[in-house]
Amino acid sequence: MALLSVLTPVLVLVLCLVVGILFLKSRAPETSPRGADQAKEPAKKDFRPWVDQDLHDDTEITTEGGDEDEWVEQDEEKDLAHVPYSPRRYPEEIMLQRSKEFYSLMNQRRSVRFISPEPVPQEIIDNIILTAGTAPSGAHTEPWTFIVVSDLETKHQIRLIVEEEEEVNYRQRMGDKWVHDLARLRTNWIKEYLDVAPYLILVFKRAYGILPNGKKKTHYYNEISVSISCGILLAALQNVGLVTVTTTPLNCGPRLRLLLKRPANEKLLMLLPVGYPAADATVPDLKRKHLEEIMVPI
């Protein structure tokens, strides 16, 4: 008993030391000298945020080499002539009328998950893709590929992949909150429209370009550029009375890229089933925000 009372202060001291060491270790990265931190970081010169971040998205299957010599320098490219530009100018009252009409057209756009199998002429789809290709892009790199699938078997293969992954997404990957947020839209992993819609448009972003000489070309802001082109594509569909639902099937990118035999620099961004709405199509009764909620005049 006497021995224990003598040892107690020693034990407390040892315990304090252990806790102190553990605490200091847990804070070590914040308190280590700046030079040590820098040694762990990639050299600033080699860091291309608009490329590297895209390459490390979850659609990546193969690892790409990071050799600087593989990339083309901007000044290797040709200079461009500049030409006059004078688009049509409208009187203000016509501008007002056109702005209202276009808003009214676009305000009728809805994501439609019930699509008719009725055929749509290919030439209309061609024009819609051409329209999407008018989008602005970082340094005019046009980093998009639109795969237009009408082949029945390929559509079915796409459906099998998407449904298999989506079931895992809904049951495991998305989490309760996400699944709960989607419940009111009545979406789930069954995607009948992938078989039924006359066209599936799979939009790939080209994370970087590959030139004829095999060198890689930086595609600045490629995801933003392709997203803008998708917005224009949606407007072009709406303009001719066709419908789609914007989908970004989580974790399906690599398998769909391989199915469609696309190169490793292409990453799936969106999957758009396209056609006429089914005769009995319904949509959730959503409301859109008012102007005051989305615009801040200063």
Ligand X SMILES: Cc1cc2nc3c(=O)[nH]c(=O)nc-3n(C[C@H](O)[C@H](O)[C@H](O)COP(=O)(O)O)c2cc1C
Give the residues lining the site for ligand X (CB under 6 A).
110-111, 113, 185, 187, 245-248, 283, 286
Minimum distance from residue 11 beta carbon to ligand X (Å): 59
- How many CB atoms sit inside 10 A of residue 158's CB? 26
Q: What distance in Å separates the CA atoms of residue 133 and residue 210, rounded to the nearest whole number?
A: 19
In the complex with ligand X, the residue whose CB is nearer, 145 or 244, is: 244
In the complex with ligand X, the residue whose CB is nearer, 31 or 108, is: 108
In the complex with ligand X, the residue whose CB is nearer, 185 or 258, is: 185
Hey, which bits of the chain come out as E strands?
144-149, 199-206, 208-210, 216-218, 266-274
Minimum distance from residue 284 beta carbon to ligand X (Å): 7
Minimum distance from residue 110 beta carbon to ligand X (Å): 4
Bridge partners (DSSP) of residue 147 are 202
Minimum distance from residue 224 beta carbon to ligand X (Å): 13
- How many CB atoms sit inside 10 A of residue 31's CB? 7
- How many CB atoms sit inside 10 A of residue 233's CB? 25
Question: What are the two backbone dihedrals, phi and then psi, of residue 148, each rounded to the nearest 5 degrees?
Answer: -105, 110
Minimum distance from residue 272 beta carbon to ligand X (Å): 10
In the complex with ligand X, the residue whose CB is nearer, 72 or 201, is: 201
Residue nearest to ligand X (CB): 111
Q: Give the full edge-to-edge strand order of the sheet including 266-274.
A: 144-149, 199-206, 266-274
In the complex with ligand X, the residue whose CB is nearer, 22 or 286, is: 286
Residue with tokens 């895209």: 54
Closest CA to 258 of 159, 161, 173: 161
